[in-house]
A and B are shown apart, each in its own frame.
Chain A
Amino acid sequence: MTLDQLPIGVPARIARIDWAQLVPEEAQRLRAMGIDEGAEVKLSYRGVFMTRDPIALEIGRMTLALRRAHARAMEVEPVINEISAEIPAEAAE
């Protein structure tokens, strides 16, 4: 699944980014803002109008707006293991 297809509010991890699909300066900019393989993101808003462009993501404590064309270059995977593994450990204390 690519990032633009992610449902709103579902946390995900960026598994792979096809950097070749992005303009080099934009790729550099996205990377500087924390968008990279392994980053955890959550889609929070989609734009108006038919194409639902642009989109807003939460990455860490930052909200970042980008176009769906950028998001299409990013493969995401669900985040499950770490969180569910930590909760029982804390509860056991």
Chain B
Amino acid sequence: MTKQACVVALVGNPNAGKSALFNALTGARQKIANYPGVTVERKAGRMALPGGEPAELVDLPGAYGLDATSPDEEVTRAVIMGEMVGQARPDVLVIVLDAANLAQHLVFAQEMIALGRPAVAALNMIDLAERDGLVLDPAALQAALGVPVIPTVAVRRRGLDDLAAAISEARDRVSAAAPAPRPHLTLPERRMLAREMAHGAILSESSQHRIHSRIDHVLLHPWAGPVILFGLLFVVFQAVFSWATPFADALKAGFQALGDLVRTVLPPSLPRDFLTDGVIAGVGAVLVFLPQILILFFFILSMEATGYMARAAFLMDRLMAGVGLSGRSFIPLLSSFACAVPGIMSTRSITDPKDRLTTILVAPLMTCSARLPVYAVIIAAFIPSQQVLPGIGLQGLVLFGLYVVGVFGAMAVALVLRRSVTKGATSGFIMELPKYQLPTVRDLALGLFQRAWVFTRRAGTMILTVTIVLWLLLNFPRAEPGADQVDASVAGHIANGLAVVIAPIGFNRDIALALIPAMAAREVAVSALATTYAVGETDPDAQGRALGVSLKSNWSLATALAFLAWFVFAPQCMSTIAVTRRETNGWKWPIFMLSYMFGLAYLFAGLTYWTAAAFGLG
């Protein structure tokens, strides 16, 4: 083995622009994974030092100090100290500073420099500081800090070469003479010194003509702020459900065409059915959600990059406090409308552990995009398409109602959990509101690409596996000629057993058969029902219609409504359970989540069925 590549770590307060700097330095050459044993994302990538020598750049979570108050900060501390398993101790620390907020950012910077390790400071976002009327003197700051100070504008790719050169020099200085660790200062001493250093580095400062305070004046206005927020959320949902349709249709048609192609090329056989009905139909059913997920993430990433997300959390804090959560939970719950998996992953920024756990446990109740196909099929089959009010159809109203039930369900469960299982001190809400910034196309595109990749990989691995297993269970053992294949199969036997349990809430064997594979992902219920009813149509529109017809002839309205109620609450998503296990470090909470959600699903499906049956709809 040759000598190990140089490891460089980006450290700094949250909102210093670390991620933008990381993206600018590494480009698309990055790898996102998890630190072993903890739930914090590890972002690492390759950067080039002068002369073309590669170095590994690690982006550490934002921290305010080495005394950790959140899982994120603990990772930062452990990596810097070289205590993180599977992560070599960084050779060079790049301290990222917000040029416009030096008095604050220099507090943590001093703590870093005091470690006596090779370090470089990036005076980042210097353009925004200039916009604020600040003229800075990097040389003065360098003299005060005792480490090289490089002005950078990560989003405009300014100062990157200088930074790379400084990193290389700092690394080479290690062997020569490492600077002696400095005396440990207390926090108030560091703060005082930070203020002095910031003061000394500012050449001139015009009064507070800050654009962002003028924007905040509107966006945080006591009544205009919430109106704008809800208007924006309306646009987001509108976009997710209407903009995505043409792309989703195109994808669906593409998979259909692929299936047809295989069907014409290969002779009729079991392996051919396996390819078309199993692999292509199964993976295709999930991949059609990619456009919706990308559109939702486009809005979420933009809201984060502009700094609006923190304002949304501010505006929503009071409402969230009503159920024992804080504004910080708003972002994960909003993401959960696309998919609970990224929603649960984004709870990492919640500092209070009880708050975080509660948010994880209720996130799957938010109506994710995988429920949409299930809802759509049932509503189209059973709810008459009529106008309630001009422009408002009954079908749309029922769909909206299902979303509302999900939100209220989540709130109610959070309220109960905060008083029982996750009881604790009322959570606080402390959050920096970052400066407004125009997001760069590059960073947005990179973020979207990463989400798309994670989602596609999941469809290609986990969902593919489940589809194959289900297909095998449905097709083996083979039935006697003339007998029903489903009843003869392993899956059929399991479903017949399950049907006894769910018969009281109006569910039949076909539903049992759909619910088992739908444990992998909710949307699988639709394709499973279609398979069970042996609908041979291949045209997607006709297939939807045909499934509707078989549903209508096999199910009562009461059963259909109960089925909808079931899917509002049922935890039918293997990825959510897996991510919950990972994020809570054990099986206790995923099992709790499964039990309470199945309990609620059974209860509400039952209540719906019995009520509807009492009205003569059974």
Contacts and interface: CB of A to CB of B under 8 A. Distances in A.
B310 interface: yes
Given A29-B69, A44-B216, A66 B430 contact: yes
Interface string B415-442: 0000000000110111111000000000
A54 B429 contact: yes
B428 A32 contact: no
Interface in A37-75: 44-49, 51-54, 56, 58-67, 69-70
Contact of B222 (A48, A58, A60, A62): A48
B475 interface: no
A53 B107 contact: no
A47 B432 contact: no
Contacts of B318: 47-49, 51, 53-54
A3 B331 CA distance: 28
A56 B220 contact: yes
Given A28-B67, A29-B69, A51-B318, A64 B432 contact: yes
Contact of B216 (A45, A47, A54, A60): A45
Interface stretch (B98-106, B136-144, B596-604): B98-106
Max chain B CB contacts within 10 Å: which of A53, A58, A61, A69?
A: A61
B100 A61 contact: yes
Nearest to A22: B428
A59 B425 CA distance: 27
A67 B216 CA distance: 18
Given A29-B351, A48-B225, A62-B101, A36 B188 contact: yes
Contacts of B352: 25
A26 interface: yes
A1 B216 CA distance: 26
A50 to B, nearest CB: 9
Contacts of A10: none
Given A60-B104, A65-B310, A26 B216 contact: no
Max chain B CB contacts within 10 Å: which of A25, A54, A63?
A: A63
A69 B516 CA distance: 48
Contacts of B428: 23, 26, 66-67, 69-70
Contacts of B100: 61
Given A29-B69, A54-B317, A61 B132 contact: yes
B321 A53 contact: yes
B615 interface: no
Nearest to A39: B191
Nearest to A49: B318
A61 B101 CA distance: 5
22 contacts: A25-B351, A29-B64, A29-B430, A31-B187, A32-B69, A44-B213, A47-B318, A48-B222, A49-B318, A56-B216, A59-B104, A60-B104, A62-B101, A62-B104, A62-B432, A63-B213, A64-B433, A65-B317, A65-B327, A65-B430, A66-B429, A70-B430
Given A36-B187, A52-B222, A56-B220, 12 more contacts: A31-B187, A44-B213, A47-B315, A48-B225, A58-B213, A62-B104, A63-B216, A63-B432, A64-B433, A66-B431, A69-B428, A70-B428
